Amino acid sequence: MDNITHTLFAVTLGRTRLARAGRGATAVLVVASNAPDIDILATAGGGAKYLEWHRGLTHGPLGLAGLGLLSAAIVYAARNAYHRHMIESVDAAPWPIEEHASFAMLTALAFIGVVFHVLMDLPTAYGIRLFSPFTWRWFGVDWMPIMDLYLLIVLMAGLLFARPTAAAAGARQRNAAIVLTLMAVNYGVRGYAHHRALEIAPRLFGPTLPQPCDAAPRQPLIVDSWPQPVPAPPPDGHRCLVELAAIPTFTSPFDWRIVAQMSNAFEIHDLNLLDARFAQPGDDDGANFWRQVLRYPNVWTPAVHEAAKTRVGQLFLGFSRFPAARTAVDATGATTVRFTDVRFVGGAFGPDGSRRRVQLFTVTIRFDSSGRLISAALGP
């Protein structure tokens, strides 16, 4: 989730009974709820460092423990410094010391903040490296976009209708309870819509959907994990289905981007669950959904395998859930290999036209005619 959502959620928690912990409760919740995203500092080293560290160590168990303690220490020190300043000020009265939350209580609240940060990031299709540094695999649930407009509306409305200066503590707590309930409903709707999208997905591809690659096809899981091994082409040369995934969009919980990973390509189709044609199961041949598919070739040539061994190639393939590989040879004999994460090919996450997005989710690797590496970098 974005940091605005994390911050608004932390302030909402600060209006529940957690506020009874004492002064500093809301502050430590806000700091801790944003602390795991301190890995944004990796962008100073470029896009490759961002992919290497983002949602990694700071979202794993060791990072959360350290960030929880650090958040509590920062708020504890800042509050005490402010208290001393108030005491030394002639015209100001300090807060009563008995209203201060203890360091132990601030630490407990900080752990609540960092844990909820992870619980809000996990349901996004971007995913997190939940158990880093013990394993650097990614985990995600595919329920939520990176920024959910509906969560933002609910959280902002809850704060506007129960400002501290205009409402008693009891009213603020009731308002916070309503907001948290609406958030839970939103997650529930997203979860059901994701399940429904996967049910409908095969109908979009119609007669073009091949048989699964394995005798026992991989079943959709609540929590997906990647990267997965490169699928081997079937011995008979025919393409087969590796996986179907439903990726959420920014616009609506009823709009999804369906990604079908074949043995030689990715095929993408947009799905609106409110389309009346999906209300009842039936023969969809007349609808011709499959004619509207967007296809990205994914053929692993020897050059692609060499590109995958480079430092940038390994880093990108360790991050990418659905890497589509393309190969081109120019007139001089130089070979260009391009990997693109099809999760970020319009629709589901944009496109927003930003140069940064293009650079992060595509990698281009070039070899000369003798196979020597010329360049390897993020971007087209």
196-239: per-residue pLDDT in tens?
Answer: 999 999 988 888 888 888 765 566 678 899 998 887 777 777 88
Give residue 366's pLDDT: 96
CB 278 within 8 A of CB 199: no
Q: State the average pLDDT over residues 107-129.
A: 96
238 versus 280: the higher-pLDDT residue is 238
Q: Using the predicted structure, report yes or no on whether residue 163 has a pLDDT greater than 90.
A: no
Q: Which residue has the tokens 């399940």?
A: 195
299: its two tokens: 């053929």
Distance CA 182, CA 188 (A): 10
% pLDDT > 90, the chain: 61
Distance CA 205, CA 229 (A): 24
Domain range summary for the chain, segments of one domain joined by +: 3-140, 197-296, 302-378
Give residue 2's pLDDT: 93
Give the pLDDT band (50/70/90) at residue 96.
low
Distance CA 227, CA 213 (A): 18
Distance CA 77, CA 86 (A): 14
Give residue 208's pLDDT: 86
Cα angle vertex 325, ends 334, 59, to 5°?
Answer: 125
Q: Using the predicted structure, report yes or no on whether residue 355 has a pLDDT greater than 70.
A: no
133: cis peptide before it, omega within 30°? yes
Q: Which residue has the tokens 């023969």?
A: 283
pLDDT digits 0-9 by tens, 194-203:
999 999 999 8
Distance CA 340, CA 325 (A): 7
Give residue 319's pLDDT: 93
Give residue 85's pLDDT: 75
Q: What DSSP string runs through 26-95? A: HHHHHHHHHGGGGGGGGGGG-HHHHHHHTTSGGGSHHHHHHHHHHHHHHHHHHHHHHHHHHHH-TT--PP
Give the pLDDT band (50/70/90) at residue 352.
very low
CA neighbor of 257 nearest in space, from 379, 138, 265, 266: 266
72: its two tokens: 């509590």
Q: Using the predicted structure, report yes or no on whether residue 353 has a pLDDT greater than 90.
A: no
Q: State the average pLDDT over residues 59-65.
A: 96
